Amino acid sequence: MYKRQDSYPAGSEQFRAEENDTLARKANFERLLNKLKHYEGVKYTTFILNEQYPSALSISNGNTMFDTIPVRTIRFGFIPHTDYFRTMGMEGAEGMTAEQLDSRDFLWTESVLTADISQRLKDGKPLYGRRLGNGDEEDYRVGGVIAPVRYRSYMQPMPIELYVYEEFPDYMYYYIPLIALRIDDHLSEKVFLHHFREWMNKELTVGNYYVKSVQSFSDIQEQHEFSEGITNQYRLNLALGIFFLVNLCLGVAGTFWMQTRSRREEVGIMLSFGGNPSHITRLLLYEGWILTTLGTLTGCLLYLQYALRDGLYTTCNSAEEAMPAYWINHFGLHFTAVTLIVYLLLLIVVSIGIWMPAHKLSRISPVDALRDE
């Protein structure tokens, strides 16, 4: 969860002029942070500089150069020894742990990269320790590697570079950064926030600093996604998907249902010649499955022609470009998976549309079946 603090403006009743210089602000800020660290249930705390964090509205893009290969990345900074990685829930990669990254003495010339960047380089080499250039002739070193991070909850992980602040910038004592908290896993977020808000209104005022608000990360995600129109778009797409899926299933099932019922006379003839009801039902099912298979193969061939004409991949120069290593971005795997899911769904729907009337028809007497016709 994230806590937003503020400072009393000059001229207000709570403002204290003697607490307004940089040294006093620094001391008060550390006192406030120390109170947070020792609050019951708080596991880790860290700073969020420039309001840049996963799911934040603001994005800073940059180029990370690997010799002559540029990789577009999302960039934001962190301060070493502030439990940043454990607080943000980031996992280490290439043999590193989040705890090791939090305790490491990073230099300002080092950066932490997400492991999915190596997939773009396609050279099979680990990222840790590599000398890199970021496009402005300033070489730096990869000082740590973390597992891929989803910058947006509705997107695939994107390449991220975390650059280092060796110390807390003085201007931040006036700009007032966000503070992130990670609570113990066994605690209820709702109950914790209820008690924490009561406590912060009474206790979290130090010098000119006070806590303005506190929100859970999930609430922040929901607010940002709603403000970007993602929530409404998701709901609309979900509603349309369910609507068309239900109509497709009803249409296919109804078609085979009526087609099977119309074959009452044919079923009566087979029964009159000693046909077994179970055999007749299976025969009708096999016929439906063959038609479904032929229809699916025809649809696949037509779609493949369309895909081959327009290209199987789409690339762009944005930092939000999907990583090609994920299976969903590979046309062959994605096409096969979707086709199999649709094919199995159609088989189930067709089986229901055939079995129910066929089961009933195959158990009537041949005389009744032929007389009705």
pLDDT tens profile 74-91: 888 888 988 999 998 899
Mean per-residue pLDDT over the chain, rounded = 79
Instruction: For residues 253 and 356, give the distance between their C-alpha atoms in angstroms, rounded to a whole number.
Output: 10
pLDDT > 70: percent of the chain: 81
- Give mean pLDDT, residues 39-65: 80
pLDDT in tens, 214-231: 888 888 777 777 776 777
- Greater confidence, 108 or 372? 108
Strand 139-146 with 110-114, pairing? parallel
321 pLDDT higher than 80: no
Burial of 271 (0-12, 13-18, 19+ CB in 10 A): buried
- Assign 320 a pLDDT band (cuts: 50, 70, 90): very low
Q: In the prediction, which pLDDT does 251 show?
A: 85
What is the C-alpha to C-alpha distance for residues 134 and 234, in angstroms, rounded to an integer?
36
- Residue 242 and residue 259: Cα distance in Å, rounded? 26
Are 86 and 216 within 8 A, CB to CB? no
Diameter of the chain by CA atoms? 106
Can you tell me the mean pLDDT for 169-192?
79
What strand order describes the sheet that includes 209-215? 42-48, 178-183, 2-7, 209-215, 205-206
The pLDDT confidence band at residue 12, using thresholds 50, 70 and 90, is: low
Provide the pLDDT for residue 319.
42
pLDDT-derived band at 212 (thresholds 50, 70, 90) equals confident
pLDDT tens digits for range 232-280: 777 888 888 888 888 888 888 888 888 887 777 777 777 777 778 888 8
Q: How far apart are CA 101 and CA 112, in angstroms?
A: 9
Kindly indicate the confidence band of residue 100, based on its pLDDT and cuts at 50, 70 and 90: very high
pLDDT value for 195: 87
* Residue 124 pLDDT greater than 80, yes or no: no
> What pTM was estimated for this model as a whole?
0.67
* Total Cβ atoms within 10 A of residue 107: 13
CA distance 266 to 292: 21
Say what the pLDDT of residue 318 is.
46
Going from N- to C-terminal start, the domains of the chain cover 2-227, 231-372
Mean pLDDT across the stretch 197-224?
A: 79
pLDDT of residue 316: 45
| Short-list 58, 42, 102, CA closest to 78 | 102
- Give the model's pLDDT for residue 37: 85
d(CA 369, CA 271): 9
